[in-house]
Amino acid sequence: MALVEQVLDGDRLALARLLTLVENDDPQGLATLDALYPHTGNAHIIGLTGGTGTGKSTLVNQLARYVRQQGIPGNGGAARQIRIAVVAVDPTSPFSGGAILGDRIRMRDLAGDPNVFIRSMATRGALGGLALRTRPVVQTLDAAGYDWVLVETVGAGQSEVEVARTAHTTIVVDAPGLGDEVQAIKAGILETADVLVLNKADLPGADRAATALRTSLRLGPSDSEAGNGGWQVPILMTVATEGNGIAEVVEAISRHRTHLQASGEWVQRVRLRVERELRELLAQTLLASLLDRQPEGAFAEIVNQVEERKLSPRAAVAQLTQQARA
Amino acid sequence: MALVEQVLDGDRLALARLLTLVENDDPQGLATLDALYPHTGNAHIIGLTGGTGTGKSTLVNQLARYVRQQGIPGNGGAARQIRIAVVAVDPTSPFSGGAILGDRIRMRDLAGDPNVFIRSMATRGALGGLALRTRPVVQTLDAAGYDWVLVETVGAGQSEVEVARTAHTTIVVDAPGLGDEVQAIKAGILETADVLVLNKADLPGADRAATALRTSLRLGPSDSEAGNGGWQVPILMTVATEGNGIAEVVEAISRHRTHLQASGEWVQRVRLRVERELRELLAQTLLASLLDRQPEGAFAEIVNQVEERKLSPRAAVAQLTQQARA
């Protein structure tokens, strides 16, 4: 299987081709991913989420630039050079592929670096959840030897929370002055955060916003309840456009990994992630298989009956699953 | 089944109780919903989505107030009195129930109106997609005789798009000056919109924002491609805090229903919705049933093997489904 070796050898074109195959559920692509699976498990998967207007993408670009130039804190304090992949998930776009998001253009200075890989991923109209679609892409990049796989999602809806949960470390980005509703969102999204970043910290209201974040954090579940093994969520101030505060974010991410591994939570998170992935894949597979086994037109006929309110959705499902068992 | 009759009779306490049962997948609640199912299909389901800071909730409150005071355009131009239900979906909160969202307090003047029903719905941590959770709630309100069921979601992620797709009419709310990234989001989210509202139209930059929206709309798929049967998406300017432009939004919603029914698209959308609902319910049911039939510890052992990279997720799923068939 040539593609497997090419990807393990660091062939970027082969990697890009494999990602496209994997994203399209191509059988060869999925078989290649199966073969690569034993090579996964080394990457530090970092989810980064936040509302519109927080300057999230600029922050991601600066993080990538910083870790390529400075490395990350290694054992004994010496910097460690790493390879970084960025997956920019755009739930509103139907186009996947290279670095196509408008603001990717800012990463031009990283474009020639063989140890940076940027991939835009569109999930609009995709079947299954966001996590179901991004996971194989992340696994491919993990197998390809990227030390950090940073998954950036737009917005703060449930699907973003879902993606955050598939990561080892979740960064939530906020900015001052984003309107009243943000407060309400924060209250929930905060609990998924391992690292909080207040970007655009040079804007008026930054101190007030940081205080609000600190208060919200205190109002959230205490450390013991949240089961995060004593991790104190840091609130970091950045001005991504100027590169200010980036070093501190990189340091916090590295420190969080050390904490997860020391507390045993790393293993726990991986286990939860694997279990969730299996459940989702199973559900999709079982559904496809049941529908395949229906006589032609049978499912459409049941849809008709529900549409005409002769059958409730639950009764229809009971009928279909009993048939399958008989 | 007393609860069925109570809900059909307009008993609000019974309705609130049923909604709680339905949301918790309580067997009695689901059986009641089954019995109510023949009474569904009359409501005009309206999805309303938009980013943070757009003043979405204020707009919803004003819409509810307006339709209760003025009615909606009926046949022959005479106003028609309607009953309206609002479901405020908060994907970041774990609390469901009454009108608990902070800004619901603005609806106090509607609280005594027996023909308005407001329900906050939390979906954080809920199993299954957002649509899977909101659908039974919307169906219950439909059966209870609400003419308009307005589903308001926070944010603009994939789950919000999903909820939008379960509606007959989707309203996307925007506001001037929400930062660079909004532009990128608009490009995708716009295509789900049947009605575009630019709220906070008294802010500086409103005209420029409206022009940008108009341009984005023109750049989107043409009417024939999008299959919307010739509907021209209106761009409406509102100042929800002042009640300005609300009448025009109500008029556009009513006009869209007339258009959907005349073009045959109403039936098409309902069919698509029913089919999607059945697929999702089936997948969840099949998964639960397969896991139930596993010997104790068998699934955990497979999770272990995937965790240790001895088995790929796809191979694990193949193993589990083959066992089930044998």
Residues A6 and A71 in one domain: no
pLDDT bucket at B154, cuts 50 / 70 / 90: low
Average pLDDT over residues B119-133: 68
pLDDT of res. B205: 85
Cα gap B281→A318, rounded to integer Å: 10
β-bridge partners, B118: B86
pLDDT at A140: 96
Q: Would the pLDDT of B29 be above 80?
A: yes
Residue A289 counted as domain residue: no
Instruction: Quote the minimal CA–CA distance from A149 to chain B in Å.
Output: 18
- Would the CB atoms of B158 and A130 count as touching at under 8 Å? yes
Per-residue pLDDT, A134:
87
Average pLDDT, chain B: 83
Among A148-162, B43-57, B201-215, the least confident range: A148-162
Distance CA A245, CA A222 (A): 27
A72 and A213 part of one domain:
yes
User: Considering only alpha carbons, which residue of chain B is nearest residue A38?
Assistant: B309
Total residue length of chain B: 326
Can you give the pLDDT at residue A17? 94
Element (H, E) at B189: helix B181-189
- Provide, as residue numbers in chain A, all residues whose Cβ is less than 8 Å from the Cβ of B279: 287, 291
pLDDT of the residue at B57: 85
Q: Other C-beta atoms within 10 Å of B201: how many?
A: 20
Q: How far apart are CA A161 and CA A191, in angstroms?
A: 10
Please tell me which residue of chain B has the smallest CA distance to A27. Answer: B314
A10 SS3 class = coil
CA distance linking residue B185 with residue A200, whole number of Å? 20
pLDDT mean over B89-118: 63
Residue A321 domain-assigned (yes or no):
yes
Q: To probe the interface with A, which of B90, B174, B282, B309 has the most A CB atoms within 10 Å?
A: B282
* pTM strictly above 0.80: no
Q: Are residues B90 and B167 in the same domain?
A: yes
Q: What is the pLDDT of residue B158?
A: 53
Among A94, A184, A289, whose Cβ lies nearest the Cβ of B321? A289
Same domain for A259 and A159, yes or no, is yes
Structurally, chain B folds into a number of domains equal to 3
Which residue blocks in A205-245 are alpha helix, DSSP H? 206-219, 223-226
Long-range contacts of A261-264 (CB under 8 A, 24+ apart): A263/A229, A263/A230, A263/A231, A264/A229
- Same-domain status, A30 and A63: no
For residues A59 and A140, membership in a common domain is answered with: yes
Is A183 in the same domain as A52? yes
Residues of chain A neighbouring B281 (CB-CB closer than 8 A): 313-314, 317
**Interval B210-232 mean pLDDT:** 65
Q: Are residues B32 and B54 in the same domain?
A: no
Domain boundaries, position B301:
294-326
pLDDT of A103: 45
A157 found inside a domain: yes
- The CATH number covering residue A73 comes to 3.40.50.300
d(CA B320, CA A281): 11
Q: Are A149 and A45 in contact (CB under 8 A)?
A: yes
Which pLDDT score, from 0 to 100, does residue B180 have?
Answer: 40
- Quote the pLDDT of residue A224: 41
Residue B181 has pLDDT above 70, yes or no: no
* pLDDT value, residue B162: 66
Task: Give A275's contacts in chain B (Cβ within 8 Å).
Answer: 303
Concatenate the DSSP letters of all residues of A243-300 into one string.
TBTHHHHHHHHHHHHHHHHHHTHHHHHHHHHHHHHHHHHHHHHHHHHHHHTSPTTHHH
| Domain presence at residue B192 | yes
The whole-number average pLDDT for the span B119-137 is: 72
Dihedral class, residue A230 (left if φ above 0, else alpha if ψ from -120 to 50, else beta) = left
Residues A163 and A71 in one domain: yes
Q: Are residues A79 and A22 in the same domain?
A: no
- What is the least distance, in Å, from the CA of B126 to any CA of chain A? 9
**Does residue B111 sit within a domain?**
yes
Residue A287 domain flag: no
Chain A residues with CB inside 8 Å of B200's CB? Answer: none
Same domain, A226 and A110: yes
**Does any domain span residue A283?**
no
From first to last of its 326 residues, what are the pLDDT tens digits of chain A? 589 999 999 999 999 999 999 988 899 999 999 999 999 999 999 999 877 778 888 899 999 999 999 999 887 778 899 999 999 887 655 555 554 444 454 566 676 788 999 888 876 555 456 677 888 999 999 999 999 999 988 654 555 566 666 789 999 888 887 654 344 344 456 667 899 999 999 998 888 888 877 776 765 554 444 455 689 999 999 999 999 999 999 999 999 999 999 999 999 888 988 998 899 899 999 999 999 999 989 999 999 999 999 999 999 999 999 876 66
Q: Is residue A233 part of a domain?
A: yes
pLDDT category at B159 given cuts 50, 70, 90 is low
Q: Are residues B273 and B136 in the same domain?
A: yes
